[in-house]
Every structure is written in structure tokens, then in C-alpha cells.
């Protein structure tokens, strides 16, 4: 089954991939700006948004789904932007099929292993009985009880939809995400590499990408350069959208 996709603009293809618990809708505003220069595709990743649910959350599987999406759309090559989990998928795609990636942007994530740190979110979500929910407010009350901050709550609640007239449900595949959450933190396989242009862009207040990570990044991506969006955390594209846009557009617009 094909991945669901929002798209806009015209020109050279640009594919934007969201992070864990996200969906393509999170990128529509920035996507329209990129659409002034590129044909922008914003697919929901497997097990997220309106895309199909599977029993696999591994990066090789998700990258293959993106490749099939490209084949279905007739995209021989594209610029790629990926944030967090989407950045890991983007890296996997680039090292698996480098000829399909023109320029690579990885937002606030590196190829190294990351410890699992979504346990509280998953526990909160698992304790929300969507079959019994009467409103989003009831779901938010449970999130508050688990100490989730307002930004995280609003981000997650965007995934709650009326599956039936009297039934709310999550768009993401919570059982598979919960069961396979360790897949999200796994590193890129040793010895893999993408020799094309690569921009790693981080939030200045985020700790996901450190200066000392660059040696590991360049072992996979020899042309990698690092930019910082000052004053932004992990959600740098949402916190400082203009800075993120300016830096990434400058990189993507370089003529080869």
C-alpha cells in the first residue's frame, strides 16, 4: 500500500520526512515555503498519520517504503529532509541507495545509537482508553497526570481523530511503536556511507548532536557540514522556522 502524502509546489523533487509520533501535517506550513522552489512531497511515514500500519518499525524497512513511494511517483532522484526519526530514515535511504538522493538534510539527529527515552510518553498513551474517550480533553488529562508538558501534549493530540462518529483513535500504530521502540534509537550500520552533499542541522539548545559527533557523522557522510539554529531545541523547525528554512534552502539551492 502507498504512503499517504501531502504535496505542493513544482520543480525538482524534495521529500520531507517527519519524526516519531509525527505526521506530514506538521510540515505543511514550511512545505509551502519550500514549494516556491521545489515540488515538495511530505509523506506520512509507515505506522504514522494516514499511511498503512505494519509490524515493522526498523529503519531498513521504512527506508524501503520511501523508495517504493519514490518509484510509485516516478522520482528518479530527490532532495531529502528528515527530522529525528525521519532523519534516521533519510540517512538509511541515502546509504542504501545513494544515487536516489541528490542532497541530504538531517535535522537534529545523528547516525549514532540513542538510548530509549520515550517511555513516559508511551506509558501515558497506553493508559488512554481510546474506545472510552468522549473528548480530546480526557486524553490530555491523562497526559497531564504523567507530567507531559503542554507542547508534547498538543503535538500528540494532533494524532487523535474521530475514527467513527462516536470513537476516537490514534493515527499512529501505538502497539508496534511501543513494542519496537528500541528500533528508533538504533545506529546506522557500520561501514555504510553516502558521498553526496549532506547538511546536519541542530538546535542550539538540543543535545542530540554534539560537536564531538562529527567524526562519526563524517565516517558515513564524508561531505557533511554542521549548522546550528541558535535558541532552538530538538523541534528546531517548529521553534525557529525561518532560521531553519533559510539555512536549509541555502544548502538545497546550491547548483551542482
Active site residues: 84, 234
- Contact between 117 and 50 under an 8 Å Cβ cutoff? The reply is no
Query: Minimal CA–CA distance to 3: which of 85, 67, 84, 55?
Result: 67
Alpha helices in the chain (DSSP H): 28-34, 59-73, 85-96, 119-126, 136-145, 150-157, 174-179, 214-220, 236-239, 241-252
Cβ atoms 115, 153 nearer than 8 A: no
Helix, strand, coil shares, percent, the chain, to 5: 40, 20, 40
| CA 113 to chain centroid | 16
Cβ atoms of 254 and 105 within 8 Å: the answer is: no
For the chain, give the number of residues. Answer: 256
The sign of the dihedral angle between the CA atoms of 37, 43, 45, 49 is: positive
Q: How far apart are CA 60 and CA 146, in angstroms?
A: 33
Contact 111, 217 (CB under 8 A): yes
Residues 83 and 199 sit within 8 Å (Cβ to Cβ): no
Reference 56, options 66, 67, 46; nearest CA is 46
Amino acid at each position: 500500500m502507498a504512503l499517504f502524502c501531502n504535496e505542493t509546489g513544482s520543480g525538482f523533487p524534495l521529500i520531507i520526512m517527519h519524526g516519531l509520533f509525527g505526521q506530514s501535517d506538521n510540515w505543511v506550513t514550511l512545505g509551502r515555503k519550500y514549494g516556491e522552489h521545489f515540488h515538495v512531497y511530505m509523506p506520512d511515514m509507515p505506522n504514522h498519520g494516514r499511511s498503512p500500519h505494519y509490524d515493522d518499525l526498523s529503519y531498513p524497512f521504512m527506508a524501503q517504503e520511501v523508495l517504493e513511494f519514490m518509484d510509485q511517483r516516478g522520482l528518479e532522484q530527490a532532495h531529502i529532509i528528515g527530522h529525528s526519526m525521519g532523519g534516521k530514515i533519510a540517512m538509511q535511504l541515502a546509504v542504501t541507495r545513494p544515487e536516489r538522493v541528490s542532497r541530504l538534510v538531517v535535522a537534529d539527529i545523528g547516525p549514532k545509537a540513542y538510548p530509549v527515552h520515550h517511555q513516559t510518553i508511551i506509558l501515558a498513551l497506553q493508559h488512554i482508553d481510546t474506545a472510552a474517550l468522549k473528548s480530546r480533553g480526557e486524553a490530555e488529562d491523562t497526559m497531564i497526570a504523567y507530567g507531559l508538558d503542554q507542547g508534547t501534549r498538543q503535538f500528540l493530540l494532533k494524532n487523535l481523530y474521530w475514527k467513527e462518529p462516536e470513537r476516537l483513535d490514534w493515527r499512529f500504530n501505538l502497539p508496534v511503536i511501543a513494542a519496537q521502540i528500541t528500533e528508533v534509537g538504533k545506529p546506522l550500520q557500520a561501514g555504510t556511507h553516502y558521498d553526496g552533499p549532506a547538511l546536519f542541522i541542530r538546535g542550539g539548545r538540543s543535545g542530540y548532536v554534539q560537536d564531538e559527533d562529527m567524526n562519526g557523522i563524517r565516517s558515513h557522510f564524508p561531505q557533511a557540514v554542521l549548522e546550528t539554529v541558535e535558541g532552538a531545541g530538538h523541534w528546531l523547525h517548529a521553534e525557529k522556522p525561518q532560521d531553519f528554512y533559510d539555512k536549509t534552502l541555502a544548502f538545497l539551492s546550491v547548483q551542482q
